[in-house]
Amino acid sequence: MQDVTKSGMRNDVRNVLERWLGVDARAVAVLSDQELDELHGALTAARNSQAKALAAASDEALRQMPALLRIGVAKILGR
């Protein structure tokens, strides 16, 4: 049963990587389990870093706006 669960998780990771990589998804098929884990970890870390950078940039942009505009724009952005 444990092998089936592990295999299922591998397929999930493989599917996520294939969606993220798009055209380059063919490369995922030849990766070992360890390589899959490493790639998934690296891409997840990169996406998290990008999200933090984008949030910081949008926060800074909001700070540059006049207060009356800032409230409306923040609502539009879902903040």
Residue 20's domain comprises: 2-76
Give the end-to-end CA distance of the chain in Å, rounded to a whole number.
44
Query: Residue 30: how many CB atoms within 10 A of its CB?
Result: 7
Amino acid in position 56: A
C-alpha closest to that of 14 among 32, 36, 35: 36
User: Coil, helix or strand for 46?
Assistant: helix
Please tell me the total count of domains within the chain. 1
pTM of the complete model:
0.61
Q: For the chain, 79 residues long, give each residue's pLDDT as a single digit of tens.
A: 334 345 556 678 888 888 888 888 788 778 888 888 898 899 899 999 999 999 999 899 999 999 999 889 889 988 7
